[in-house]
Structure 1
Amino acid sequence: MTDADILRISGATAAEIADSIRALVERGALAPGDALPPVRTLAATLGVNRNTAVAAYRQLAAAGLVTSQGRAGTRIAGTPATPQEGFAPSTELVDVGSANPAPALLPRLEPALRALEPRPVLYGEAVIDAGLERWAREWLAPDTPRDPRLTITNGSFDAVERLLAQALTRDDAVALEDPCYLATIRTARLAGYRPLGVPVDAEGMTVEGLRAALAEGARAVVCTPRAQNPTGAGLTEARATALREVLADHPYVLVIEDDHYSLLSRHPYRSMIAPDHRRWALVRSVSKFLGPDMSLAVVASDPHTADRLAQRLSPGTTWVSHLLQRLAHALLSDPDTRASIDRAGAHYAARNAAFADRLGSRGLAVAPGDGLSLWIPVHDPAREVAARLRTRGWLVRPGDEFSIDAAAPSHHLRVTAHHLDDAAQERLAADVAASARGA
């Protein structure tokens, strides 16, 4: 970057400097790969504190617009290939990284569709359908700190995005599990929030990790209380109690619990939200047990959070289809559907346990966890192991894709094997074991 280029960057605050660089990128004056000036040079040129320039670059990095390359400086990023759930169906490899539910275990929609009330819904009606609201209140209220307010969103990803948007502004810090659900990472980075990774162990989000994130100024926390994606971990009662004690000194930090696996889980729901915590939300979607195309989630929250969330859900513009809501209600209130959901949860748990046993017999100790996938430790860097598995015909997820801070290579794979029969599981277990050893 020349001196003339530096002079085109303007601003007195971090936000103004970041907006100026963003405008230069949008006009094509800065292209992917172009180097930005060192922070000392930029600060001296603009007459601002060095920390202001650092904060501007941090905002741009959080939004994915620049990358830091150590001694090579900070450069304009290209369009990133953001990892997302699910893989392209055109691959010739066997996809064991998608974390999809089994289509055969999803309930049939035709009987419920035929029985739906054909009543049209007009502008100005309530955002949440009355029948679904009554059912959902019985579902969520026992697991909330106190009488909740309910609303509806287009799935858990939409819920988390809207909840964070009503509580945070650009460059605010948010505590996320590390490793973390792909959609949550994407939400934080695209919105320009500052993600603070909280390590996850077998009992869920760690106490010291949460304490450190709050000390760094986290204004929101996103936690998966069970079936944590990608690790399969779930909060124990002891861990949930300890996390509530940490949060006791931060009653106005928004705590979002994404209980995405809910009705499929083999584990009880345990919450890190204390009865007297002021800002909280519990999100439960139906995608894992009714199907990803049933893009619907119910949000239970405190009144303040509910009011601010409602401002982002306007009848007739950003509402969730009442036809979809009535279909979900018809399915969830049907005893046969609920029984099939329970059988699906038992199937996933049994197939994951079987695959964990097959890996264990080959020297890879894996906890089955909870959820649709297994989190497999490997000796070599996960990306190398994933590449070896591709040569053997398997498509897996390296743990690096789920990392908040990818400074060090991951040594885990996320593998979805519930849809494989015994013979295919045996082949995959043998190939994972061989690839993990570098054979």
Structure 2
Amino acid sequence: MDEELTKETPDTNDVDHLDDWLVHHIAAAGSAESVVPLLEGKIREGAIRPGTRLPTIRALSEQSGVSFRNIRDALAVLRGKGLVETRRRGGTVVADPLAGPRPAPAAEPAGTEAVPAAQTGELAHASSDPELLPDLTEALATGLRSPNLHSNVRQYITDRLRTVAQRDWPFAAEAYIAGGSGAEAALLCVGTLAGPSGKLAVDVPINPGLLDHIRRLGLDVFQVPADAHGADPAALARALEQGARTYLFQPTGPYAMTPPATAERMDELAGVVARFDDVVVVEDDAVGPLAHVPGPTFGTVLPGQAVRVRSFCRSYGSDLRTSVIGGPREAVDRIRDSRSYGLAVNSRILQDALAHLIESSTTARTLKRARSVYAKRKAALADALERRGIPSVSGPNAQFLWVEVSSEVDTLIDLATAGYSVGAGSRSFVEPPATGHLRIATLRLPDDSAAIDRIADAIGRAMHGQMRDLYA
């Protein structure tokens, strides 16, 4: 936003001046996306003080020329952040940003009440439940006993981690290295291997943050959608024919709406890749040990064209920040050399700690329990939605539920108004589908059935616009 528009400070003791200031800046901003950061900054820095009553949405719209909907959407986002609150008969007032979000007010008429913000309102990100992660004490102690601790010799993967990783690697890799977090390692691989063409095929739906970073690399991205049998061979063929030389494949599908590819579909996909001997498949196994169903691989039939990234962050905790990359030596060496010019290596302590966790029978029991709890949480919300006539879909290893909605933006804003943050489904696609979707993270859903029902009720109300008129 232009500096001229943000340097002024409104006098909240002077109602007319505040109204004029808001109208001027909202008119210049012109959209909910621009209004939100402006007002949020002024509220958080105290320029607009708690308790200050804002003009009505209708008044701001008429005086600024900005649509009623854009102003309503901006205030809904601020309300979801706990920065403004709507008081019955008291209008919209600035809340204390240090006090956190307050429950939404009971609404009139009966039957359209807003749902109070739940403690588990963050449903956009598939972060692990700390209660279901293994204790790292013994693992880190093992890492501290690494035989080469403090050595100045770079060790791109420790002997112990390589040995452990090889035991259940789905194909015979020629070389292994340790990488950073799973998403970081996948990005490193595709950034290195995309080659001069600068073109990449990706499975969708995909991690939206990863997709954003891929685009920042300047790569030309083609999407490969999936059906009930797996990724679409025709879409993959079109991408490769148009010059894509790397295919980001998701064998375990953390964002998938459908099951992993069948053996027959894998044969078809491998046949497509085999037509292009310079294409490399990067298998992003982001689910890792949490998978309920094993992920397929290209490495058994195309060993020279498949690099696999196995992530352990969601299984063992993000602080380990260690993944394993394995595949053809030439490709793995290129990836290694691209990581800070070959200078970057993961801590031996973290590598051997990870190896200890992979081998530990105690950790295996912890993972078994985590898989069970996560599956029950996802099923509980799916069942609650189904009872309300709301269908949802999710792959067996997926850590999200997908719900189709007629208006993605409106539904997201209305859920934010009720205190729930969910993902915009369109952000997981290169080419957004014609129909909008909610992407609801399930790993940290509450185990309380009443809380699950509140979430399902909020989704139902938001889908049908029943919250939309509460704050007009």
TM-score class, shorter: 0.7 to 0.9
Aligned to 2:437: 412
Contact kept in structure 1, 2:133 and 2:316, CA below 8 Å? yes
| CA positional deviation for 1:405 | 2.4
Equivalent AA in structure 2 for residue 401 of structure 1: R
1:266 aligns with 2:292: yes
Identify the match of residue 123 of structure 1 among 148, 152, 161: 152
Q: Is the deviation greater in 121-130 or in 213-222?
A: 121-130
Distance change (3 Å), C-alpha of 1:319 and 1:403: same
Aligned to 1:423: 450
| Greater RCO structure (CA 8 Å; 6+ sep) | 2
| CA positional deviation for 1:313 | 4.8
Distance change (3 Å), C-alpha of 1:373 and 1:275: closer
Distance change (3 Å), C-alpha of 1:197 and 1:309: same
Aligned to 1:26: none
| CA positional deviation for 1:170 | 6.5
| CA positional deviation for 1:169 | 4.5
Q: Which runs of 4+ in 1 moved over 6 A?
A: none
Aligned to 1:228: 254
Aligned to 1:96: 123
1:354 aligns with 2:380: yes
Contact kept in structure 2, 1:174 and 1:220, CA below 8 Å? yes
Contact kept in structure 1, 2:382 and 2:392, CA below 8 Å? yes
| CA positional deviation for 1:360 | 1.2
Q: Distance in 1 between matches of 2:275 and 2:254?
A: 25
Distance change (3 Å), C-alpha of 1:210 and 1:239: same
Contact kept in structure 2, 1:127 and 1:151, CA below 8 Å? yes
Contact kept in structure 2, 1:220 and 1:254, CA below 8 Å? yes
Contact kept in structure 2, 1:199 and 1:206, CA below 8 Å? yes
Q: Distance in 2 between matches of 1:186 and 1:228?
A: 17
Q: Distance in 1 between matches of 2:442 and 2:335?
A: 37
Identify the match of residue 162 of structure 2 among 107, 111, 133: 133
Please tell me the root mean square deviation across aligned C-alpha atoms, in Å.
Answer: 2.5
Q: Distance in 2 between matches of 1:235 and 1:222?
A: 14
Q: Distance in 1 between matches of 2:303 and 2:162?
A: 24
Identify the match of residue 107 of structure 1 among 130, 134, 157: 134
Distance change (3 Å), C-alpha of 1:238 and 1:216: same
Q: Distance in 2 between matches of 1:398 and 1:410?
A: 12
Q: Distance in 1 between matches of 2:176 and 2:327?
A: 7
| CA positional deviation for 1:236 | 2.3
Aligned to 2:15: none
Distance change (3 Å), C-alpha of 1:375 and 1:251: farther
Q: Is the deviation greater in 93-102 or in 286-295?
A: 93-102
SS in 2 for 1:255: strand
Q: Is the deviation greater in 113-122 or in 424-433?
A: 113-122
Larger radius of gyration: 2
Contact kept in structure 1, 2:140 and 2:350, CA below 8 Å? no
SS in 2 for 1:312: helix
Distance change (3 Å), C-alpha of 1:365 and 1:316: closer
SS in 1 for 2:153: coil
Q: Is the deviation greater in 244-253 or in 287-296?
A: 244-253
Contact kept in structure 2, 1:173 and 1:217, CA below 8 Å? yes
Write the deviation string for residues 256-300 of structure 1: whole angstroms up to 9, x where unpaired: 111111211111221244523532201101101111121111011
Equivalent AA in structure 2 for residue 129 of structure 1: T
Identify the match of residue 321 of structure 2 among 285, 288, 295: 295
Q: Distance in 1 between matches of 2:123 and 2:196?
A: 36
Equivalent AA in structure 2 for residue 123 of structure 1: N
Distance change (3 Å), C-alpha of 1:409 and 1:386: farther
Distance change (3 Å), C-alpha of 1:336 and 1:318: same
Equivalent AA in structure 2 for residue 259 of structure 1: D
SS in 1 for 2:151: coil
Q: Is the deviation greater in 428-437 or in 118-127?
A: 118-127
1:212 aligns with 2:238: yes
Write the deviation string for residues 9-68 of structure 1: whole angstroms up to 9, x where unpaired: xxxxxxxxxxxxxxxxxxxxxxxxxxxxxxxxxxxxxxxxxxxxxxxxxxxxxxxxxxxx
Q: Is the deviation greater in 422-431 or in 375-384?
A: 375-384
Q: Distance in 2 between matches of 1:326 and 1:315?
A: 24
Q: Distance in 2 between matches of 1:338 and 1:381?
A: 42
Name the count of aligned residue pairs.
Answer: 348
Identify the match of residue 208 of structure 2 among 174, 179, 182: 182
Contact kept in structure 1, 2:303 and 2:328, CA below 8 Å? no
Write the deviation string for residues 194-217 of structure 1: whole angstroms up to 9, x where unpaired: 011112334432222112211211
Q: Distance in 1 between matches of 2:146 and 2:337?
A: 28
| CA positional deviation for 1:113 | 2.6
Q: Distance in 2 between matches of 1:288 and 1:343?
A: 14
SS in 2 for 1:176: strand
Distance change (3 Å), C-alpha of 1:167 and 1:118: closer
Unmatched tracts of structure 1, length 5 or more: 1-86
Q: Distance in 2 between matches of 1:168 and 1:259?
A: 19
Identify the match of residue 365 of structure 2 among 322, 334, 339: 339
| CA positional deviation for 1:230 | 5.3
Q: Distance in 1 between matches of 2:428 and 2:394?
A: 19
| CA positional deviation for 1:191 | 1.2
Equivalent AA in structure 2 for residue 414 of structure 1: R
Unmatched tracts of structure 2, length 5 or more: 1-80, 83-97, 102-116, 467-472
Distance change (3 Å), C-alpha of 1:414 and 1:233: farther
Aligned to 1:237: 263
Identify the match of residue 191 of structure 2 among 147, 154, 165: 165
Normalised TM-score (structure 1): 0.73
Q: Distance in 2 between matches of 1:273 and 1:112?
A: 30
Contact kept in structure 2, 1:181 and 1:229, CA below 8 Å? yes
Q: Distance in 2 between matches of 1:218 and 1:313?
A: 22
Aligned to 2:225: 199
| CA positional deviation for 1:369 | 2.2
Contact kept in structure 1, 2:382 and 2:401, CA below 8 Å? no
Equivalent AA in structure 2 for residue 176 of structure 1: V
SS in 2 for 1:307: helix
Equivalent AA in structure 1 for residue 254 of structure 2: Q
